């Protein structure tokens, strides 16, 4: 499975889940040589997010992952925030559902679906694909798989 195929697999059901539940939990989809797995992630801040990714990699190392995809809600903006600001501080920010996938060789792709919350409903925008994405969280996952396989 390529990163693009992993993204398409996740996006097969994720938009419907977002529309029905009105939110989407952060989930890691692991495609392994021995078996596949889904890991529901919980975190409060960047530090706990990093620890969760390392721990997930260690925990599923026995599955011999060859591709992984991570989905979560996020913010996006058209401009890079100035120093001292975050994307969620930008006036043109948009909520989006983001999927980032990476294979064992480091090939990475991502997709984002902007969405709005209107009168209690989710209105989805068009899917935007981005090849060559930087995926520091997935690098932590792969680091965890190496530690788990030792």
C-alpha 101/C-alpha 111 separation (Å) is 9
Cβ distance 79 to 94 under 8 Å? no
How does DSSP classify residue 13?
Answer: T
Structure confidence by residue, pLDDT tens digits, 86-144: 888 888 889 999 999 999 999 999 999 999 999 999 999 999 998 877 888 899 999 99
Helices (runs of H) and strands (runs of E) counted in the chain: 4, 7
| pLDDT > 90 in the chain, percent | 71
CB contact set of 122 (below 8 Å; sequence gap of 6+): 18, 19, 22, 115, 116
C-alpha 32/C-alpha 88 separation (Å) is 34
C-alpha 104/C-alpha 113 separation (Å) is 25
Beta bridge partners of 63: none
Model confidence at 16: pLDDT above 90: yes
Structure confidence by residue, pLDDT tens digits, 77-86: 888 888 888 8
Mean pLDDT of the chain: 92
Could you state, in order of their start, the residue ranges of all structural domains in the chain?
Answer: 3-148
Q: What is the pLDDT of residue 9?
A: 95
E strands in the chain: 27-32, 36-40, 65-76, 94-103, 108-118, 121-124, 128-131
Structure confidence by residue, pLDDT tens digits, 22-64: 999 999 999 999 999 999 998 888 888 899 999 999 999 999 9
Q: What is the pLDDT of residue 77?
A: 83
Q: What is the pLDDT of residue 88?
A: 83
Model confidence at 150: pLDDT above 80: no
């Amino acid at each position: 499975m390529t990163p693009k195929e992993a993204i398409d697999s996740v996006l097969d059901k994720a938009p419907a889940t977002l529309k029905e539940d009105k939110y989407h939990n952060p989930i890691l989809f692991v495609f392994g040589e021995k078996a596949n797995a889904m890991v529901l992630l919980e975190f409060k801040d960047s530090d706990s997010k990093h620890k969760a990714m390392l721990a997930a990699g260690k925990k599923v190392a026995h599955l011999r992952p060859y591709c992984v995809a991570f989905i979560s809600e996020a913010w996006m903006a058209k401009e890079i925030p100035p120093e001292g600001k975050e994307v969620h501080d930008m006036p043109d920010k948009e909520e989006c559902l983001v999927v980032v996938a990476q294979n064992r060789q480091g090939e990475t792709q991502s997709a984002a679906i902007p969405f709005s919350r209107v009168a209690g409903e989710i209105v989805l925008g068009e899917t935007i694909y981005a090849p060559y994405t930087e995926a520091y969280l997935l690098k932590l996952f792969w680091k965890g798989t190496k530690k788990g396989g030792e």
